[in-house]
Amino acid sequence: MDLPAGSISAILGPNGAGKSTLVHILLGILKPSSGEVTISGKNIQHYTRRELSRLIAFVPQSEYTAFEFSVLEYVLMGRAPHIGMLQMPTHDDLVHTLEHLEMLGLSNLVHRSVLELSGGERQLVLIARALAQEPEMLLLDEPTTHLDLSNKGRILSTLSNLAERGVTVVYTTHDPDSAAMIAQFLVLMKEGRVLSSGTTQSVLSAELLTETYGVPVRVVQVDGQPVVLLENHGG
């Protein structure tokens, strides 16, 4: 499968479909048992850890930390790929970090402890940290799963804006609607296999989704956007 640069791709599938494993392979944490992952034609295993961290930034679904870092300290860690092992962040790193915080509307949270943030704020802070890496691609694991409707909308529109600025966005989700809303490309997964991949319009069909999720669904168009509905069993 190919994930086109500069666009938004969603990896869609039910729980246990192998999305997280795929994310770990894309990050280079796991080695694929067969096949290879290439970025700009070069196998990711041939990039150094530092090179890779400047290409792909990862936003975990949630992140536990035992320490009360401030939002600023936390997002500043995203500069790590640009800071040597024995070096400290410079004033430039600080400026970059503040710019990304401002871009995501987080300037008022700079001194807040990361342990005191709401779910949506926390997700945005994780995205800000990933952006501070200045990557070419943003890889997000279930970015909207635990969020309410307004925060879900906020995250998805943030991802759209980022893609418009030229960042390649790839995210996993088990929710077809989250995928349909912003993704131009879709990878459909089930039981560790890719069932289908291509443009969202071509992949998001009732037959493929029924096969993937094992329940009958219908795909309807609302204002030109596909919406997935469960078929009514009871009648």
Partner 1 sequence: MDQHIDLALVSRKRTRRWVILLTGLLLVFTISIFVGRYPQPYLMPPRLLGQDELARQLVLALRLPRILAALMMGASLAAAGNVLQMVFRNPLVGPGILGVSQGAGFGAALAILTFSTIPLAVELSALLFASLGLVLSYLIARQLRYGGWVLRLILSGIAVSALFAAGIGLLKYLSDPLTQLPEITFWLLGGLWSVTWREVLLMLPFVTIGLIIVYLMRWRLNLLSLSEETAFSLGSRMGRERALLLMGAVAAIAAVTAVGGVIGWVGLIIPHVARRLFGASAQLTVPATILMGAVFVIFCDTLARSLRPGEIPLGIITSLLGALIFILLMITVGARWKP
Q: Which positions lie near partner 1, rule CB under 8 A?
A: 24, 27-29, 49-50, 52-54, 56-58, 60, 63-70, 73, 77-78, 80-81, 83, 85-89, 94, 98, 102, 107, 110-111, 133, 139
Shortest distance in whole angstroms from residue 69 CB to partner 1? 5
Task: State the nearest-atom distance from the C-beta of 89 to partner 1, in Å.
Answer: 7
Tell the smallest beta-carbon distance from residue 112 to partner 1 (Å): 10
The least distance separating partner 1 from the CB of residue 104, rounded to whole angstroms, comes to 14
**88 or 149: CB nearest partner 1:** 88
Pick between residue 1 and residue 30 the one whose CB is nearest to partner 1. Answer: 30
Q: Among residues 54 and 146, whose Cβ is nearest to partner 1?
A: 54
Tell me if 98 sits within 8 A of 107, measured CB to CB.
yes
Residue 88 or 222 having the CB closest to partner 1 = 88
The nearest distance, CB 77 to partner 1, in angstroms, is: 6
User: CB of 13 within 8 A of CB of 19?
Assistant: yes
The smaller minimum CB distance to partner 1, of residues 57 and 147, is found at 57
CB 216 within 8 A of CB 231: yes
